[in-house]
């Protein structure tokens, strides 16, 4: 019997191999020893897939749903709101079946209309985001080149080999913070390590910063990370050089939990110099990605990865950041999602602290210098919280601040931003970044309204002004072969298309527009338009056999 155009036993075996086991005694996952897949079965019209609900036990239905979610995590690029809408409205299984069957845009639109007729919330999304038949047609152009069965099968087999698990929105361990991203939430999370660490019981705190950290920045990151880890929080960062790496190391030394969000597959430990560190994180915490195993890290994916760091933590602290650092991208997502935002001040003469000073001056970030200050971002001032275990700390002593304390955030505290501050922004509300503020550098969050026309590209607003090497999530760890060749002042495409096209090109290999489209997750027409602009700017060149980055 066929399922999604593949052998049913193969689909179920692969899904069960990466399924998060239920609570109770651990049982070894079944091995995926079903028939191999060597061709692009989904590229040709497959036998009509069976309805996953027919003759399925609840376990088999869950396995089919998980397989479909795994497929969608590779078919659509992170942050694709149209993919988020169709999966939310139709379900991952039905949406994948329609994609395999090559349903026409009108059929998709009719199916969406039928499913949301009784859902005011979903209908408001369709009306607000301007989803039309033309928008769906453009989305199908982006998705169909990636509907390749062997890629999904290979990702699941690689995940099983590295003992990674696939967490889906239906699972009880799915992080609540992901729901704040609305249609831009990930379809699934690939987790290598402890799945329970992703949504830590004590909550997570993001500690981020530039990879070009100074000794001062690394020391402060170590102190803050160790301090919040000792107080029962998990430390979340991006696994990159500089501040990220020091935050992870300090949490590990303190015996705490730390989580690294990656911009590629969890089977590809990047950067390579942090291979051992990332293995230690997987052993004591978790490596997490919304991209399937085998996916390459690119600059666009680093930027999209930042929204997950901001959404799945209770507060974000920027330790060191340059004037245009990509860490500001994470800070923008945190503030627009209503998460408390802290920044560590540095010497006024230090270029590596210029971004932190911008956050303090223009974005209402809270000045933090100690772990106690970071805890106050989440729990509020210690003087306003009842002590359950320890006596009140002596005056001007921070040794026991926030240890064993609990309580709600008082109105007006740093954990509950005052009206008009960055923390008071409601996800998805208009005006999430005030005109003239740091919003000119920071993006609207993935969950906020998208600019007119951007929904057709299925991407979140780009980061105008963040053009230096650290734009890739504050770590500048985009592979050298993938790093844009533009200068620091080069413009960035409004819809992110140029960034993604550059990510898909190299200086050596010549690629056709259709190949670039499949790698970038864009339609061929969007790729050709972006290539035309990049050609005029001298950033790419056309040869007889295809396109490549300019060698100039």
Which is more confident, 342 or 2? Answer: 342
Indicate the pTM of the whole model.
0.74
pLDDT of 242 reads: 94
Give the tens place of pLDDT for each residue, 506-528. 888 889 988 888 888 888 888 98
Per-residue CA distances from 431 to 128, 134, 316, 421, 446 (Å): 15, 27, 21, 12, 14
In this predicted structure, the answer to whether residue 48 has a pLDDT above a threshold of 60 is no
Q: Give yes or no for a contact between 198 and 165, defined as CB atoms under 8 angstroms apart.
A: no
pLDDT of 62 reads: 85
Considering only CA atoms, which of 159, 194, 170 is closest in space to residue 62?
Answer: 170
Q: Give yes or no for a contact between 222 and 249, defined as CB atoms under 8 angstroms apart.
A: yes
d(CA 482, CA 484): 6
What confidence category does residue 50 fall into, taking pLDDT thresholds of 50, 70 and 90? Answer: very low
Give the tens place of pLDDT for each residue, 416-432. 333 333 333 333 333 33
> Which residues have a Cβ under 8 Å from the Cβ of 58 and sit 6 or more positions away?
none
What confidence category does residue 184 fall into, taking pLDDT thresholds of 50, 70 and 90? Answer: very high
pLDDT of 438 reads: 38
Structure tokens at 408: 């709600």
pLDDT of 246 reads: 96
Q: Helix, strand or coil for residue 189? A: strand
Give the tens place of pLDDT for each residue, 99-114. 999 999 999 988 887 7
d(CA 251, CA 247): 6
pLDDT of 2 reads: 67
pLDDT of 92 reads: 93
Considering only CA atoms, which of 467, 469, 463, 487 is closest in space to residue 212?
Answer: 469
pLDDT of 331 reads: 94
Burial class (CB in 10 A: 0-12, 13-18, 19+), 544: exposed
Per-residue CA distances from 89 to 111, 121, 221, 441, 524 (Å): 9, 10, 42, 33, 26
Give the tens place of pLDDT for each residue, 127-179. 555 778 899 999 999 999 999 889 999 999 999 999 999 999 999 999 999 99
Q: Helix, strand or coil for residue 166? A: strand
Q: Share the mean pLDDT of the chain.
A: 77
pLDDT of 324 reads: 83
In this predicted structure, the answer to whether residue 282 has a pLDDT above a threshold of 80 is yes
Per-residue CA distances from 18 to 163, 284, 347 (Å): 7, 19, 48
């Amino acid at each position: 019997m066929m399922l999604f155009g593949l052998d049913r036993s193969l689909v179920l075996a692969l899904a069960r191999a990466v399924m998060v086991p239920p609570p109770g005694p651990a049982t070894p996952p079944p091995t995926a020893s079903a028939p191999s897949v060597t061709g692009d079965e989904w590229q040709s019209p497959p036998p009509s897939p069976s309805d996953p609900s027919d003759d399925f036990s609840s376990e088999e239905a869950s396995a089919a749903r998980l397989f479909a979610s795994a497929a969608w995590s590779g078919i659509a690029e992170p942050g694709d709101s149209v993919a988020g809408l169709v999966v939310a409205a139709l379900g991952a299984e039905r949406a994948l079946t329609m994609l395999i069957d090559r349903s026409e845009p009108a059929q998709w639109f009719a199916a969406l209309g039928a499913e949301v007729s009784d859902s005011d919330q979903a209908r408001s999304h369709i009306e607000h985001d301007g989803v039309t038949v033309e928008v769906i047609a453009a989305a199908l152009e982006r998705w169909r080149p990636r509907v390749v069965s062997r890629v999904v099968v290979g990702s699941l087999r690689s995940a099983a080999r590295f003992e990674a698990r696939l967490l889906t929105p239906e699972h009880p361990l799915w992080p609540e913070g992901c729901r704040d991203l609305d249609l831009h939430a990930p379809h699934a999370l690939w987790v290598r390590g402890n799945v329970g660490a992703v949504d830590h019981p004590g909550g997570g705190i993001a500690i981020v910063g530039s990879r070009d950290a100074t000794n001062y920045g690394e020391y402060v990151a170590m102190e803050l990370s160790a301090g919040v880890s000792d107080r029962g929080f998990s430390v979340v960062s991006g696994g990159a050089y500089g501040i990220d790496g020091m935050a992870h190391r300090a949490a590990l030394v303190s015996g705490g939990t730390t989580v690294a969000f990656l911009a590629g597959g969890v089977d590809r430990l990047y950067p390579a110099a942090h291979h051992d560190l990332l293995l230690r994180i997987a052993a004591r915490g978790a490596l997490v990605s919304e991209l399937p195993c085998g996916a390459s890290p690119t600059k666009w994916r680093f930027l999209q990865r930042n929204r997950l760091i901001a959404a799945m933590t209770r507060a974000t602290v920027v330790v060191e950041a340059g004037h245009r650092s990509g860490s500001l991208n994470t800070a923008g997502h945190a503030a627009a999602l209503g998460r408390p935002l802290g920044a560590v001040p540095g010497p006024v003469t230090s270029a590596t602290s210029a971004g932190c000073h911008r956050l303090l001056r223009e974005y209402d970030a809270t000045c933090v210098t100690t772990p106690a200050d970071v805890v106050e971002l989440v729990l509020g001032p210690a003087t306003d919280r009842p002590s359950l275990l320890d006596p009140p700390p002596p005056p001007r002593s921070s040794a026991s601040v926030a240890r064993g304390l609990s309580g709600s955030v008082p109105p007006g505290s740093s954990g509950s931003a005052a009206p008009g501050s960055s923390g008071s922004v409601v996800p998805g509300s208009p005006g999430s970044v005030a005109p003239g503020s740091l919003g000119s550098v920071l993006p609207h969050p993935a969950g906020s309204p998208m600019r007119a026309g951007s929904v057709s590209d299925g991407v979140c607003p780009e980061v105008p002004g963040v053009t230096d090497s650290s734009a890739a999530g504050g770590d500048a760890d985009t592979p050298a072969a993938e790093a844009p060749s533009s200068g620091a002042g080069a413009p960035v495409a409004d819809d992110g298309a140029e960034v993604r096209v550059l990510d898909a090109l190299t200086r050596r290999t010549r690629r056709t527009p259709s190949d670039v489209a499949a790698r970038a997750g864009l339609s061929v027409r969007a790729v050709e338009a972006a290539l035309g602009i990049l050609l005029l700017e001298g950033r790419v060149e056309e040869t007889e056999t295809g396109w490549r980055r300019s060698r100039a």
